[in-house]
Amino acid sequence: MKRIAFYAPLKPPNHPVPSGDRRMARLLLAALAQAGFAPDVACRFRSHPHGEPQRQPRIAAVGARFAERLAARLADPARRPSAWFTYHLYYKAPDHLGPAVAAALGIPYFLAEASFAPKRAGGPWDVGHRAVAHAVSAAQAVFCINPNDRACLLPLVADPARLVDLPPFLDDAPYRAAHDAHPALRAALARRLGLPLETQWLLAVGMMRAGDKLASYAALADALRHIADRPWRLLVVGDGPARPEIQRLFAAAGLENRLCLLGELAQEDLPQIYAACDLMTWPAVREAYGMALLEAQAAGLPVVAGRTDGVPATVADGETGLLVPPGEAGAFAAAVALLLDDTERRRAMSARAVARIAARHTIPAAAETLRRIMEPCL
């Protein structure tokens, strides 16, 4: 079995803080294994300077030393990988290891979810910007999880065929099982939380932290106040330092009595929550593609989300949910009200969502793409 050296410069797969990024790193390891490879985390060095661009040169120098040591260690035939695979790099978290190690060992270098921002050239993040350009140019193939990355990556690759679409994916089995058990799961959750069964349940899933997540919660509170005359409840999965501010936002919108805060839940508990609800609602401010949106659909939960970044590649507008232009609170509220009023349409979207995820967004589908592209290069 061919070894693959795996590296995630932003957040290693064993990082203690849950996030969509950590989740996709773990899913990629599973997909590589199912594709017939033997992936192993090569290094846990984080290249992110935590908002301090002046630290970039020092981080790059440390990365170069790590790369030299790794290349020497992996040159041992008992440890030598057949390829290097880096997941998620951008100007704040470039790959200072992979290109150097792959060149030293004479092995192919692969990337997944690389983004390149030409506007960063010459600015305070220029060191990371140039490192990303170098990595993309060196890659045998770049797997595009977010299709919005393609346009800026294209000038960096010698052959456009090196950009390969890899739709975001998950293990859909527990979500399908939860979907099939919807009535029982809903009744059990109603008893546990004291929620009336006849009331429609909206769901939001997201870490409670400053930045885009907080902006999404703010947009959600702004939208839902427009339909406060309806007897819905909002279940929220997530926690973090911004929780008090998020609670204040919903209180200011007059919605504090509509909230049911579930806190941070284990991954294995999420399918039952998705399957028990009526509608996923998430503005998805600057969301790359939205793992929670993918999970919701896998459990048969229709989605109302913002039409942002890679979300249209995850949610089929009009088929598995409704997408709304960002910043339009009234339009978002109208889309939620439309689906709450149309039970048959929600059921049809639910069935299509489960089928679409099973066909396009699973570990076996991703494994086949990885195997097809990588195997001939090894």
Q: Is 247 helix (H, G, I), strand (E, B) or coil?
A: helix
Q: Give per-residue pLDDT as tens, 75-96.
A: 999 999 999 999 999 999 999 9
Q: Give per-residue pLDDT as tens, 300-339.
A: 999 999 999 889 999 999 999 999 999 999 999 999 999 9
Residue 50 binned pLDDT confidence (cut-offs 50, 70, 90): confident
Nearest to 280 by CA among 267, 268, 295, 265: 295
Residue 68 token pair: 């030299």
Give the pLDDT of residue 29: 98
Give the pLDDT of residue 51: 80
> Which residue type sits at 62?
V
Other CB atoms within 10 Å distance of the CB of residue 185:
20
Give the pLDDT of residue 233: 97
What domains are defined for the chain? 2-169+362-377 (3.40.50.2000), 173-360 (3.40.50.2000)
Give the pLDDT of residue 213: 96
Higher per-residue confidence, 25 vs 49 = 25
**Which 8-state DSSP code applies to residue 289?**
S
Please give the angle made by the CA atoms of 130, 40 and 72, to the nearest 5 degrees.
65
Contact 320, 349 (CB under 8 A): yes
**Which 8-state DSSP code applies to residue 130?**
H
Residue identified by tokens 């981080």 is 59
- What predicted TM-score, i.e. pTM, was given to this entire model? 0.91
Task: Please state the rounded mean pLDDT for residues 193-211.
Answer: 95
Other CB atoms within 10 Å distance of the CB of residue 220:
31
Going by DSSP bridges, is the β-strand pair 201-205/163-165 parallel, antiparallel, or unpaired? unpaired
Give the pLDDT of residue 254: 96
End-to-end CA distance of the chain: 11
Contact 121, 152 (CB under 8 A): no
Query: What is the side-by-side strand order in the sheet with 2-7?
Result: 37-41, 2-7, 83-89, 109-114, 141-144, 163-165
Task: Please state the rounded mean pLDDT for residues 213-233.
Answer: 97
353 pLDDT above the threshold of 90: yes
Residue 26 token pair: 């773990």
Give the pLDDT of residue 243: 97
